[in-house]
Structure formats: structure tokens, C-alpha cells
């Protein structure tokens, strides 16, 4: 989908405040409310806008400890990858899972209440994942940069 100047302005405005009423969004980007609504729906239909989310405070919701877990599988066959990915998707403490290139096959971001909770997650949820031969964990101290993708100018 080709994004013009108005589409990009809509995306930037929604990144700043996804709760913006359509009439307010239209005013910000210089369109009528109906034209703005049509553009937003087109961006949603094309998958440019995948959804609208609230930014939650993970620490206040029981995820005070963030852990980066690097996982290596016993092989990279399509079957092993599919089995691992299906299983890891069912682990509620896994916030993000990336398939990687390089030394490790996957990088996970895991939320835990505290160190004891991460030990439980490691033992009960991560270690039994299929085809895992190696796990390395690093505990985050704080986020230095945590921002959404910038809309191209």
C-alpha cells in the first residue's frame, strides 16, 4: 500500500493518541471526518494498522522483572520450529518471541514478579519446551529506549 502525506499524518497522530476521536483526528490531518474515517478503515483493511493497544505498566501488573532469554534448539527443521513456536505461544509469561539469525534460534522477553517467579517459569514453562538444548537468561535493569516504529516522513 502506498502511503501518502495524509496517511502518514494519520498514523503519527494515532501513535501519539490511539483514543483520538475521528472528528479530532480529521481536524489534525486536514480532512473531513468521513474522508478521515475512510482512510483509517483502509489502513486497517490493508494491515498497516494492526490494532489499538493500551500501554500498560508491567511492574504494576506483576511483571516487575523482565528477562531476555536466548534459546537454541536441537535443530532447525520445519517440524521442530513449528512445535517449538506452538508451545512457546502458550506460555503466558512470554511477552515477545523472535526467531533469530546468529548463535541463538530464538529471543524471548519474559515477565516475572520476582526472581523466584522467574525460577518457576524457567523450570515449569521454558525448560520443558520442545527441542530446547540451551537457554541463556539476562535480567533487564531498565528500558533505555522503548518506542514504536517511526512513521516515514
State the sign of the Cα–Cα–Cα–Cα dihedral 53, 54, 59, 60.
Answer: negative
CATH of the domain spanning 5-45: 1.10.10.10
CATH code of domain 59-139: 3.30.70.920
The x, y and z cell numbers of residue 133, run together, are 538444548
> Which pLDDT tens digit goes with each residue over 59-110?
888 889 999 999 999 999 999 999 999 999 999 999 999 999 999 999 999 9
Question: Residue 125 has what pLDDT?
Answer: 98
Percentage of the chain modeled with pLDDT above 90: 86
**The pLDDT of residue 153 is above 80:** no
Tell me what pLDDT residue 148 has. Answer: 83
Interior angle at CA 125, CA 121 and CA 135, nearest 5: 80
Question: What is the pTM (predicted TM-score) of this model?
Answer: 0.81
pLDDT in tens, 134-151: 999 999 999 899 888 888
Q: What pLDDT score was predicted for residue 76?
A: 94
Cα(111)–Cα(87) distance, integer angstroms: 17
- Provide the pLDDT confidence category of residue 121 given band limits of 50, 70 and 90: very high
Each domain of the chain, given as residue ranges in start order, spans: 5-45, 59-139
Amino acid at each position: 500500500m502506498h502511503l501518502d502525506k495524509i496517511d502518514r499524518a494519520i498514523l503519527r497522530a494515532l501513535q501519539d493518541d490511539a483514543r483520538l476521536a475521528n472528528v479530532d483526528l480529521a481536524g489534525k490531518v486536514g480532512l473531513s471526518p468521513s474522508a478521515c474515517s475512510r482512510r483509517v478503515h483502509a489502513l486497517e483493511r490493508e494491515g498497516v494498522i494492526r490494532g489499538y493497544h493500551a500501554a500498560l505498566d508491567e511492574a504494576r501488573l506483576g511483571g516487575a522483572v523482565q528477562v531476555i532469554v536466548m534459546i537454541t534448539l536441537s535443530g532447525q527443521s520445519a517440524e521442530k520450529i513449528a512445535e517449538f513456536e506452538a508451545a512457546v505461544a502458550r506460555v503466558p509469561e512470554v511477552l515477545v518471541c523472535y526467531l533469530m539469525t546468529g548463535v541463538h534460534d530464538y529471543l524471548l522477553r519474559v515477565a516475572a514478579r520476582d526472581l523466584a517467579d522467574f525460577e518457576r517459569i524457567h523450570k515449569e514453562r521454558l525448560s520443558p519446551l520442545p527441542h530446547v538444548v540451551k537457554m541463556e537468561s539476562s535480567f533487564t535493569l531498565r528500558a533505555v529506549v522503548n518506542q514504536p516504529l517511526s512513521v516515514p516522513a
